Each structure stands twice: as structure tokens, then as C-alpha cells.
Structure 1
């Protein structure tokens, strides 16, 4: 049994280092990408405070398809370029949005979401998935959060 107990009082860089260590432990020997995404969604929920949604969208044939997550039911398919997730998938770059209501074309899967961080997972120069974090707090995510999730995405690039 895994029992990861994150210390939420730690500095973000240390907390994200511990998150990546936990992700390494959970995914190192598991070949199933869906199982790995499910466990990482659960870890994100534990390690990142003030979330109302944490999970994955998988890149399939030019659109994002809902993957494992924790939170309320979500949009199932998102075209590349649409909303925050689609913008991350189309650009291959992280999207840190302080106010989702000010983001052009924002797709509101949960009306309670106020800010969002979406980080693409890349393999061989192509987006294979995005990690999506939503918060009910405005401006919840920082550059430290983006850097931590980008490190996680790099770790997962060969495991999902």
C-alpha cells in the first residue's frame, strides 16, 4: 500500500520534488498509461492544495479526450486550440490562467473554477496529453506551480 503524506507547509519547489518522487515510485514499473494517469491524478489531489479538479486529457486524433481525474464530471472532448486545455495542446506550452473568465474561449466544465494551470505532456516533440489543474480560487497558480507540473509532465512522458 502506498501512503504518501505531503507536507503542505513546505515550499512549493520541495513539495513538487516530493510529488515527482511519489510519481516515480508509482509509475516506474507500471506499463499501463491509464493506470499511471489515475494514480497521478490522485497524487495531484493530495499534493496540490485548493483544487476542485485535477487530471488528464489525452491527445487523440487532433482533440483532447478526457482521461483519469479527480473532481466533478468534466467535458469529454476538447478540440486542439479550444479553451485553456486546447490552447496548451495546440501550442505545446503551459497555460497559467489567473482568471478563466477572462480567457478567450474558456470552456466552463465546472462553474466553480476561477483559475487554471494546464501543462502539456510531450513525447518526441508531440503533445500526448495535458495535465489540467483547476481551482475555485482566482490566481491560485504561480510560476512555481507551473515549473513543478512541467517537471512531472517530463517524468510522465514515457509512462502514459
Structure 2
């Protein structure tokens, strides 16, 4: 499976001390978007200081107006509050969804924890209806764990 092949590449990116944190996060976004056909927008959101909102970090895909997301709003904002993974097979069925593009059909958001605190998340949009599986979820948990290690150093 593609996920197993990508894990060592994610680990290699994380270990690139000569690059900034944001460069490494962007490289992870680029890697996932390039190699997983149904990952059409890949990005990171992080807690914005002491505010109860998320701020957009590195991403690849269509530009978004959603650079700040209040906690509780949209899928990302809900994950910031719930601290749980959120897989949305059909975004049109979600009442509390922030549309980034009319082409987006599904979304998956996985939180990133550092020292037990939810400090951000990886957010992936897909233009394919219901593409995300448990394998995606487990792989993205791995990615978030790697990012957590990077951010806690």
C-alpha cells in the first residue's frame, strides 16, 4: 500500500534539520498531495497563540480564504474542540461545514498533540466522494505523530 511506502519519506522530511519547520511541513503536504491521488488539498492548521482559533499553516492546493477558523466552526474547528479525528465522507451532509471549494466532496481532519495538548491538525480535502478509509486515518495519525515529534523538539 502507498501509505507504507510514504512513511519512511515522511520520517526523512522530519529529520531534515537544515530546513525550517514550515519548510518541512510544506514538504509533507507536497508529498501527500503528489502521491495520493484523492488528496486534493493538504494543509496544517495550528492554534493561534492564546486565541480560541486556528491559523492556517503550510498547505498545498487551491488558495483558501479560511486562514483563521474559530474553534467549533467547520470540521477543523470542531476537531480543535473535540480532540478527535473527524472523517467526513460527504461534506454536503454536514451542517457545520465551511466550504473551501465547490469541488470538495469529502474531508478528513486529524489532530496533532504535543505533550497531551491539541496544538493543531492536518486537514485534507478530496474532490472524490467518500474516499477515506481506516488506512488513511491510521497513516495520517502516523504523520501527525511525526509532526508532533518535530514540534516538541
Same fold (TM over 0.5): yes
Mapped to 2, the partners of 1:158 and 1:51 lie a distance apart of 23
Matched, 1:17 2:8: no
What is the aligned counterpart of 2:43 among 40, 55, 70?
55
1:121 aligned counterpart, secondary structure: strand
The 5 A counterparts of 1:6-155 are: 11=1, 15-30=2-17, 32-60=20-48, 61-74=51-64, 75-155=66-146
Q: Contact 2:11–2:146 at 8 Å: present in 1 too? A: yes
Show structure 2 runs of 5+ residues with no match: none
Mapped to 1, the partners of 2:7 and 2:67 lie a distance apart of 27
C-alpha displacement of 1:48: 1.7
1:78 aligned counterpart, secondary structure: strand
Q: CA RMSD in A?
A: 1.4
> For residues 47-102 of structure 1, what are the alpha-carbon distances to aligned partners after superposition, in whole Å with 9 as ceiling and x for unaligned?
22122211111111321111111111111111111111111121111111001111
Show structure 1 runs of 5+ residues with no match: 1-10
Mapped to 1, the partners of 2:101 and 2:111 lie a distance apart of 21
Mapped to 2, the partners of 1:144 and 1:120 lie a distance apart of 16
